[in-house]
A and B are shown apart, each in its own frame.
Chain A
Amino acid sequence: MPPFNRNKRHILPGFGLSMGYTVFYLSAIVIVPLATIVIGAFRMDPQAFFATVTSPRVLASYRLSISTAVFAALFNALFGFLAAWTLVRYRFPGRRVLDALVDLPFALPTAVAGICFATLYSPVGWIGHYLDKTGIQVINAPSGIVIALIFIGFPFVVRTVQPVLAELEPEIEESAQSLGATRWQTFRRILLPHLFPALLTGVTLSFARAIGEYGSVIFIAGNLPLKTEIAPLMIMSKLDQFDYDGASAVAFVLLLISFSMLLVLNAVQRWQQKSYR
């Protein structure tokens, strides 16, 4: 990017106004609220801060939140990709309906999803009573959390991969084939590198969403201390006890984790893209 030049006239008018608006809006909506968390955390006595964020319950909740979010994001990477592929590459009756269904997790209040899962997987639910016989536990277990997170993260991968896949000309694949490449080689060497940035974006978004998810998870997780308490729930319970500083401390660490994850993924993406643009 060229250095910002104050004297340079922009071809599009209204730069000052729109830039000012953008900065104000971002401040009001994103930076100021997040700043209160940072300030709250810094106002604390450092020792108390450490004691709060390293208490066994809080540590366990971080571990659970991150690991379930990673699992869900990886799962979505694979199956979201497949869904995007199916929707773009094949023409079949009901394709549009299916396409619209993908967005449903966006639109649905997550609590509704949580209740659905809780009902479905409870020991007397449709799926739950089969699982009950086999001894697999979903409800009140990390696997249940992963299922909820897969649900809410699914649209991100589909919606980021879909347009990139759609704009990829069929000639690219045809030329690979006429050069002697097998289907797998074409996919591995041509299609996947092409779709990777979009896929990564989708996975990042899905992951970020999963880290902060609260509504759908608490219904299915059971919220057992040290076992199935997610990080956002820790914040909630601290707030319930009017421990605002403690809540800020937990939130601050969560914020750091999310932010650094996003940074790392962004860096990967930049590095990946630099090579050909």
Chain B
Amino acid sequence: MSIEIKNVTKKYPGYTALDDITLNVQTGELVALLGPSGCGKTTLLRIIAGLETADAGSVILEDRDTTNLPAREKNVGFVFQHYALFRRLDVFENVAFGLRVRPSGSRPSKSEIRDRVEYLLKLVQMDWAMKRYPSQLSGGQRQRVALARALAVNPKVLLLDEPFSALDAKVRQELRRWLRKLHDDIHVTSIFVTHDQEEALELADRIVVINKGRIEQQGAPQEVYDHPANAFVYNFLGNVNVFHGRVKDGKVLVGDKLIEAGPASGIHGAFDGQAFIRPHEIGISRIRSSANDLSGFIRDIRLMGGQIGLELETKAFEKPIEAEIPREAWRNLQLSKGDEVFITLDRVKVFTGDYEI
């Protein structure tokens, strides 16, 4: 089922949660709404689900305008951040709930309900826990039950509101992959909200980056990551170093070095801009490889697992530069605190104007 969101606006006293949002989701797609907290992404999800009403605009599910339908008539599956399972019902009854409350005409028979619930619990690998109560399950297990419960009513679309953010890192990653696989199997059109860029990049077919109630960019994860439309998107998708610099004729003056402003920028004329570079895009070497290399000292080394984080002090910049190199490279270079290194910033991206996160 496709979802069409047209010019949806939602204002609260004092601020605008959603400002004229238009978004299409294709049948079977898994879309991530990514943005910082308070950017309006959850509000949008709740409007689609009918748990909140839009001030203007419309939500069309499969050619049907559902803007003003109450939640219970939308036939939308909703998974909450904190599971929202029914504590007084066991796992089986939680999943069966949506089927049991149907009007008697369309309610499936007892054996049909049993079959459906058992099928779904098998699907989410929770069939062993049918008689358990939510309080006896871990967070990850609860969220899987919540997912089965949402799927029980054969929803047109599945909406997930930060489904993994209450779980610890390991379980989160596991469940993320598992959800991706589940989606590949059942292909229900899904939108999930997250503020975790890694989650969005790994899980989604398409990412919609939202900030302050507006869509900043949308596209495939790779595309958004490699070709961010603006400074906000670039910044939000990962760690960055920011340099303020003067841009002229496709080059940017960063400190006292003039660096190519990157192929995507295509900028002519002179203006003040910001240059961004991700820590892992910074080149580190013991010897000067070009005249554009900055020289600096290693102020601190952080072991981050597979990657090694370096804090580099340079004459040109007040703030230290954050760099990341693979553990291999770190070992080969035999770097230690206080060593002098040469820093290559060739891969900077330039965006116009000042930008505030």
Residues on A facing B (Cβ under 8 Å): 169, 171-172, 174-182, 185, 189-190, 193-194, 275-277
Contacts and interface: CB of A to CB of B under 8 A. Distances in A.
A107 B106 CA distance: 54
B87 A178 contact: no
A171 B46 CA distance: 11
B71 A178 contact: yes
Given A182-B101, A189-B101, A276-B133, A177 B84 contact: no
A168 to B, nearest CB: 9
A171 B84 contact: yes
Contacts of A176: 86, 97, 101
Given A193-B88, A276-B87, A179 B97 contact: yes
A171 B87 contact: no
A180 B106 CA distance: 12
In the A-B complex, the 8 residue pairs with the smallest Cβ-Cβ separation, listed nearest first, are A179-B98, A171-B84, A181-B101, A193-B88, A177-B71, A175-B84, A178-B78, A276-B133
B50 interface: yes
Contacts of B82: 169, 171
Contacts of A179: 72, 97-98, 101, 149-150, 152-153
8 contacts: A175-B149, A178-B49, A178-B51, A178-B74, A189-B97, A189-B100, A189-B101, A276-B87
A270 to B, nearest CB: 15
A181 B88 contact: no
B217 interface: no
A182 B72 contact: yes
Contacts of A189: 97, 100-101
Interface string B69-113: 011111111101010101110100000011011100000000000
A172 B90 CA distance: 15
Given A174-B80, A180-B75, A185-B101, 13 more contacts: A174-B51, A175-B84, A176-B101, A177-B71, A178-B50, A178-B72, A178-B74, A179-B150, A179-B153, A189-B101, A275-B133, A276-B88, A276-B90
B336 interface: no
A277 B84 contact: no
B70 A180 contact: no
Nearest to A188: B101
Contacts of B71: 174, 177-178
A180 B51 contact: no
A180 B135 contact: no
Contacts of A193: 88
Nearest to A181: B101
Contacts of B146: 175
Nearest to B49: A178
- Give the interface size class of chain B: 20 to 34
Tell me whether chain A's interface is mostly helix, strand or loop, or mixed. helix
Contacts, number: 73
B108 to A, nearest CB: 13
Contacts of A194: 87-88
Nearest to B75: A180
A199 B78 CA distance: 30
Contact of B78 (A174, A182, A185, A277): A174
Nearest to B161: A171
A276 B82 CA distance: 19
A182 B98 CA distance: 11
Contacts of B97: 176, 179, 181, 189
Contacts of A190: 86, 88
A169 B77 CA distance: 18
A27 B45 CA distance: 59
B148 to A, nearest CB: 12
B84 A169 contact: yes
Contacts of A177: 51, 70-72
Given A276-B135, A277-B133, A178 B86 contact: no
Contacts of B74: 178
A171 B134 CA distance: 15
A174 B102 CA distance: 16
Nearest to A175: B84
A209 B149 CA distance: 44
Contacts of B88: 190, 193-194, 275-276
A182 B133 CA distance: 24
Contacts of A169: 82, 84
Contacts of A174: 51, 71, 78, 80, 84
A93 B131 CA distance: 45
A74 B98 CA distance: 32
**A174, A182, A194: most-surrounded residue (chain B CB, <10 A):** A174
Contacts of A275: 88, 133
B137 to A, nearest CB: 12
**A179, A185, A276: most-surrounded residue (chain B CB, <10 A):** A179
Nearest to B98: A179
Contacts of B73: 180
B101 A180 contact: yes
A277 B132 CA distance: 10
A193 to B, nearest CB: 4
B77 A178 contact: yes
Given A176-B97, A179-B98, A180-B153, A171 B70 contact: no
Contacts of B153: 179-180
A169 B86 CA distance: 11
A180 B98 contact: yes
A275 B133 CA distance: 9
Contacts of B152: 179
Contact of B72 (A171, A172, A180, A277): A180
Given A169-B82, A171-B82, A180 B87 contact: no
B78 A175 contact: yes
B101 A277 contact: no
A180 B150 CA distance: 10
**B86, B101, B146: most-surrounded residue (chain A CB, <10 A):** B101
